[in-house]
Structure 1
Amino acid sequence: MDIPSSKQPWQEPDTSHPSSSGHVLRFAEIPAHPRQLHRIRHALSAWAAQIGMSGEQILDVALGTDEAMSNVVLHAYPVMPGIFDVHARYQPEDHHVTITVTDYGRWRPPAKAMNSDKLHMRGITLLNAVTTQTVITPTSRGTITRMRWAL
């Protein structure tokens, strides 16, 4: 598995911090395990409230990000344990929040991943329903799910 060496090991974030280009929250090298997801969800919800998102927007961010992270846990690493990163950015000047979930596993097309089990193919539909835009990019080094919300 090829993991960028510039990443710091997973740890609880100190705080979100404003920068000249907006507010940023980062999590690096999170173990792809279901027990990790609730901590990220809660931290993202607190961050979203801190930057002024409405209650409904916070729920959409939590649901969309949880779905993207759950896909990593369920699909990216079928044989061995893996990791993923979450990067959230608010840019006040364009009134958008962008959250990227990046794994370093192997892309599996949805229809083949669950033998066409329609129950398991609703994640992309859900992401499209709770975001302004979702782009999923499979690469040779993993999958990048970029979600964007207009505020």
Structure 2
Amino acid sequence: MPAAAESRHHSDVADAVSVGRMREEFSRWLRQFGLAPDRHADLVLAVNEALANTAEFAYRRHRKPGAVTLTVRCDPANDSLTVTVTDEGAWREPSDDGNPQLRGRGIPLMEALADEVVIDSSPTGTTVRMRFDQVSNPSSAMA
């Protein structure tokens, strides 16, 4: 883990291409932690779920997608990463459409993969904050 707290901040349009690019950039940045492949994949999957939800749902009532912001904060003192995904769109309430096998697994997946998930929604947007603990790899040497 980097010796000092580090933050990364990226905003882009909330569409499939942009959030895919944000996910890939996050994955590349995350490699510095030397996580086991499964742990790395878990973090990327959880972040992808939050980004994909924004791209799919936040701006569905708008003519074109608005912004999504990905902020990552590294906290070496607590051996954790906090990832925040923010939009200025509308929250989509979970619906019981009679077919739970097709939808609605993103939030439970984020909750299973992260050590803490907090979702705040308001008329001005939604913020998903995920904390991941034990992100350092003691066997990896710092460059």
Tell me which interval the TM-score lies in, with the shorter structure as reference length: 0.7 to 0.9
Secondary structure of 2:120's counterpart equals strand
Amino acid aligned to 2:128: T
Q: Describe the SS at the equivalent of 1:110.
A: coil
Corresponding residue for residue 35 of structure 2: 53
Q: TM-score, normalised by structure 1?
A: 0.79
Once the two structures are aligned, what percentage of the paired residues are identical? 32
Q: Is the CA contact 2:19–2:55 (under 8 Å) kept in the aligned structure 1?
A: no
* Aligned mate of 1:137, from 120, 131, 139: 120
Q: Does 1:38 align with 2:15?
A: no
Contact 2:85 2:129 in 1 (8 A): yes
Asked if 2 retains the 8 angstrom alpha-carbon contact of 1:25 and 1:47, the reply is no
1:13-28 counterparts in 2 under 5 A?
20=4, 22-28=5-11
List runs of 5+ in structure 2 lacking aligned partners. Answer: 135-143
Kindly state the Cα deviation for residue 57 of structure 1 after the two structures are TM-superposed.
2.1
Q: Secondary structure at the match of 1:105?
A: coil
Report how far residue 111 of structure 1 moved. 1.7
RMSD, matched Cα: 1.8
Please show how residues 1-151 of structure 1 align to structure 2 within 5 Å.
20=4, 22-28=5-11, 30-80=12-62, 81-111=65-95, 115=97, 117-118=99-100, 119-151=102-134
Aligned length: 130
Bigger relative contact order, structure 1 or 2 (CA pairs below 8 A, ≥6 apart): 2
Question: What SS is found at the alignment partner of 2:103?
Answer: helix
Point out 4+ residue stretches in structure 1 off by more than 6 angstroms.
none
TM-score, with structure 2 as normaliser: 0.83
Q: 1:52/1:23 Cα in 2 relative to 1: closer, same or farther (>3 Å)?
A: farther
Measure, in 1, the Cα distance between the counterparts of 2:37 and 2:56.
28
Counterpart AA for 1:92 = P
User: What secondary structure, in the 3-state scheme, does the structure 2 residue paired with 1:147 have?
Assistant: strand
The equivalent residue for 1:15 is none
Distance 2:14 2:66 in 1: 5
